[in-house]
Amino acid sequence: MKKEWMPIAGTKKDTLMQVSLGEFSIKGFEGVNITELATKADMTTGAVYHHFGSKLTLYTVVRREMEQRIIDRMEGAAALFTKTEEAMKSALLSGLVFSAKQNMCKLMGEEQPLGMEDPIKDFLAELNIQGELPIEIVSVSVWRSILMQISEGQLTVDQGKQLLEWLFR
């Protein structure tokens, strides 16, 4: 898939991105209907396909942008610690809090669609470079599960933070 660049603010592509972020954050990939999305963006479905080609491409662009914002925060949080466990815990807590504040727990909690790389797991793997066990596999799965439970009202953000704290004890 070719690299999609973030659109200029105020353009139709930007409007689609903003509406899509809201829709994917609430409904997840499977729950979003392109016709409904286009209507909410005050556009035609043709405009959606013109700008992004497919629902998956649109989702991928939105998700990648949000993942990068989360990783930027995770990097800052992790940089405060020298021990791998503390850095990972801090990064995951930072990502959880940011996801909750931005109301995108469902978007970030969903598993990656087939064939998509997982930049958050990759970031955690970089933190764990000297680790003997690939803890990033388990920790990113737990992190996504907590985000999904928050999005479904099964956990509060504080409970999610407590679970992450417990994971690293």
Residue 3 predicted with pLDDT over 50: no
pLDDT tens, position by position, 103-121: 999 999 998 776 778 899 9
Q: How many CB atoms lie within 10 A of CB 68?
A: 12
Q: What per-residue confidence (pLDDT) applies to 6?
A: 55
Residue 44 predicted with pLDDT over 50: yes
Q: What per-residue confidence (pLDDT) applies to 8?
A: 59
Q: What per-residue confidence (pLDDT) applies to 135?
A: 83
Q: What per-residue confidence (pLDDT) applies to 164?
A: 95
pLDDT tens, position by position, 125-141: 898 877 777 888 889 99
3-class DSSP assignment, residue 81? coil
The rounded distance, in Å, linking the Cα atoms of 21 and 107 is 8
Q: The whole model's pTM is what?
A: 0.86
The rounded distance, in Å, linking the Cα atoms of 58 and 147 is 21
The rounded distance, in Å, linking the Cα atoms of 46 and 63 is 22
165 against 112, higher pLDDT: 165
Run of H or E residues at 75: helix 55-78
Residue 15 predicted with pLDDT over 90: no
Residue percentage of the chain with pLDDT more than 90: 66
